[in-house]
Amino acid sequence: MMESYGASVIASLSSTTQAGRQILSQDPDSTGSLGIAIGEAIEMAVQDRETKYALGSVLKWSGDKNATGNGRGLS
């Protein structure tokens, strides 16, 4: 969906970011982590005033009070 709006999608762990390059230089076999992916995304977002960062799948979202969460959308 993001690409249909003109975004570029780059998998993390990536040599595209300073953080990714540093981690890969220390551990070339690293497969990354959620924390690294968030860090890389934020690094890219702060470099461009037009870029927006949204947490999306990082948060447990539920509009249904009977599902996981507190019924207000976030748990």
What is the CB neighbour count within 10 angstroms for residue 16?
Answer: 15
Which has more confidence, 29 or 9? Answer: 29
Determine the Cα–Cα distance for residues 9 and 2; give it in Å rounded to an integer.
8
Structural domains of the chain, count: 1
Q: pLDDT tens-digit profile of 33-64? A: 988 998 998 998 899 888 888 776 666 655 55
Q: What tokens appear for 34 in the block?
A: 């959620």
Provide the β-strand partners of residue 56. Answer: none
Which residues constitute the domain of residue 61?
3-74
- Is the pTM for the entire model greater than 0.85? no
